[in-house]
Amino acid sequence: MIKMTLGVVAYQPYIPKFRITSKEIRSVWGLSASGILEKSVPYRDEDSISMAIAATIDLFKNIKMDLGQIQALYFASISSPYIDKPVSTQLVSMLDLNHNVFTTDIGGSSQAGIMALENCRHSLKNGTRGLIIISDCLKTEPHSILERSLGSGAVSLIIGEDNTLADITGSYTYSQEISDRWKGVNNEYKVGDERFAREFGYIPVIKSAISGLMDRYDKNLEDFDHFVLQQPDGKTPKYIAKEMKFDSSKLQRGNVAKFFGDLGSASVFLGLAKVLDEAEPGEEILIAAYSCGGCHTMSFKVNSNVNDFRCNPTVQELIDNKEYINYVDYLKLLKFI
């Protein structure tokens, strides 16, 4: 069997235009999330499905390809509106794809997006492409710890072996049990303790996963130009840079939490999109998605095709295209009042 070199062929982010600032939340409750200036807020009729559709429609507008090449569709989310109904099959019809496309939904943790990408790249045959849609519409109860950070957003991307913008060069996963942030079947909202999650889960697990990738592929941290780590807030990824002793400026371009908040499984992919928007050929990127003791890392190398592709809108344009709301309107949009 011939081993294919696969990579990102195209990508497109989507973010709701409404924002609430950390300052506004702090004026009500006296607290705000670290490193987050503002967060995205979905409109009343938006959910993970509508955002997935919005991102993918824009994606299809920006790339010329035969949609018949799409062999697989993966939908990744921790906020699907259904418990027992696949969204991926619904998306096939809504996006007018072939009805024999392989479909699957992946959820259960903020690693859902990167696991969808990992599974998709191993399922493709020569000459075919896969569509991965990562979308999360996150909310929690007012005056909770996580209210300060949870946001909403989506990324749609196509992978394949031809005309890639950035090739996948490696991956590594690491797991150890810890319950730091979770949502049980009897919990309406996610719960967790930020400091406990950071010190006993996030930092040691992501360090182990990144180190594992370095060892597997004989790489050094200095080889990478950009790191995009899971972003529960805008500050936590910097602890990894400090612990592993790499330049924290390599986190800067992919830091989208400060503008959108914690995007769950879409977090690292919005960061990756931001990096690719401004990437130069030859740059190397490492992403790491984390949730509850599990971390999956993946590395990419940018090639010259990146100069010929531009998503529309770009992440920066999504950052700039916004409408601020006050806390009362925020509660109305999320249907608390």
For residue 320, the surrounding DSSP H or E stretch is: helix 315-320
Q: What does the pLDDT average to over 92-111? A: 95
Q: What does the pLDDT average to over 10-24? A: 98
Residue 1 pLDDT = 40
Q: How confident is the model at residue 3 (pLDDT cuts 50, 70, 90)?
A: low
Pick the more confident residue, 56 or 31: 56
Contact in structure between 309 and 165 (CB atoms under 8 Å): yes
Domains contained in the chain, CATH given? 7-164+309-333 (3.40.47.10), 166-308 (3.40.47.10)
Residue 65 pLDDT = 87
What sign has the CA pseudo-torsion 207, 210, 215, 220?
negative
Residue 192 pLDDT = 64
Which tens digits make up the pLDDT trace of 141-168?
A: 898 888 889 999 999 999 999 999 999 9
CA separation (Å) from 31 to 25, 34, 92, 182?
7, 10, 42, 22
End-to-end CA distance of the chain: 58
Residue 154 has φ and ψ, to the nearest 5°, of: -145, 155
Query: Percentage of residues in the chain with pLDDT exceeding 70?
Result: 94
Residue 190: is its pLDDT beyond 70? no
Contact in structure between 202 and 236 (CB atoms under 8 Å): yes
Of 10, 159, 9, which is closest to residue 73 (Cα–Cα)? Answer: 159
- Specify the 3-state DSSP secondary structure of 61: helix
Apex CA 60: angle with CA 59 and CA 64, to 5°? Answer: 120
Joined tokens for residue 51: 């955002």
Residue 105 pLDDT = 98
Instruction: Rank 25-39, 57-71, 205-219 by mean pLDDT and report only the highest.
Output: 205-219
Report the alpha-carbon distance of residue 101 to residue 19 in Å, rounded.
36
Residue 126 pLDDT = 84
Joined tokens for residue 190: 């996610």
Residue 179: is its pLDDT beyond 50? yes
Residue 78 pLDDT = 95
Residue 106: is its pLDDT beyond 80? yes
